[in-house]
Amino acid sequence: MYQSFEYSVTDGIALVRLNRPNKLNSIDAAMVREFGELANNVRNDRDVRVVVFTGNGRAFCAGADIANLNSINNSGEFMGFIERVQLAFNAIEDLDRPTIAAINGIAYGGGCELSLVCDFRIMAEETTIGVPEILIGVLPGAGGTQRLSKMLPPPIAKRMIYLGEPLTAAQALQFGLVNDTAPGAKVLDTAMDLARRLIKMPPLAVRCAKLLVHTGMSADLKSGIEAERQAMAFLFGTEDRVEGMGAFLGKRQASFKGR
């Protein structure tokens, strides 16, 4: 289905394995195109409830394929490439289902930025994450300057962006950039455990939750609260709400259907 990824769906969980291990899963033009295709395909596949990203080999993703970038001839062509990456990553971020980055190895540049568009990040204890682009005369161009500055304390984000210094897994956890850490061999298992927990949640409520959180990050408080009120009214009319409240009152496990 894809050249740059291994893709499978099991019990509602889509597993995306970046598959250029000999290049540390670095991002080239073909992978960018397939990120966009992936987002579109997942959006149209209602059987997919959660998406997990990880990397084959010893890296999650080392960022852009520098040899590929160096073949670009002018600023206009480079701007087109950056725009395609941004649009693809924005599309992943805007998916109406939860996404998890299982960061099994280094996540630099575009690899870090891919993890930032995911809802959850699980990171190998022995690896690092960063945006070292300034060391080659450019900057993170797939949302890194913007998302890191919103997710991290400003002094930490500035140090990463201005100096290209990565964070260890312990630092990333301390500053709230990742949700959890695990030994490298257990990272994917930990991410899949989280995915299975998400699968048990009411799908419509999870989708509304993601929309509301994203709205709250960019909207003013009153607009966000208005969106919250509308979502609550919608959810109250769902079969899942009836099931959830009935299960609570009946002291049994709820079984949600996404209706």
- Mind listing the pLDDT tens digit for each residue in 164-199? 999 999 999 999 999 999 999 999 999 999 999 999
CATH class for domain 203-249? Answer: mainly alpha
pLDDT band at 224 (very low <50, low <70, confident <90, very high): very high
User: Which residues are CB-neighbours of 85 under 8 A, at least 6 positions away?
Assistant: 27, 32, 35, 110, 141, 142
- Mind listing the pLDDT tens digit for each residue in 34-48? 999 999 999 999 899
> Percent of the chain, pLDDT > 70?
100
Domain coordinates in residue numbering, the chain: 5-199, 203-249
CATH H superfamily, domain 5-199: 2-enoyl-CoA Hydratase; Chain A, domain 1 (3.90.226.10)
Structure tokens at 155: 């002094």
Catalytic residue among 6, 93, 133, 239: 133
Q: In the annotation, is 113 catalytic?
A: yes
For the chain, report the end-to-end CA distance as a whole number of angstroms. Answer: 30
CB 169 within 8 A of CB 128: yes
Catalytic residue among 83, 113, 126, 239: 113
User: Which residues are CB-neighbours of 183 under 8 A, at least 6 positions away?
Assistant: 124, 125, 126
Q: Is the dihedral of CA 48, 185, 4, 75 positive or negative?
A: positive
Q: In the annotation, is 6 catalytic?
A: no
Average pLDDT of the residues in 28-34: 94
Q: According to the model, what pLDDT value does residue 218 have?
A: 84
User: Has residue 70 got a pLDDT over 80?
Assistant: no
Q: According to the model, what pLDDT value does residue 1 have?
A: 81
DSSP assignment of 189-224, as one string? HHHHHHHHHHHTS-HHHHHHHHHHHHHHHHS-HHHH
CB 140 within 8 A of CB 161: yes
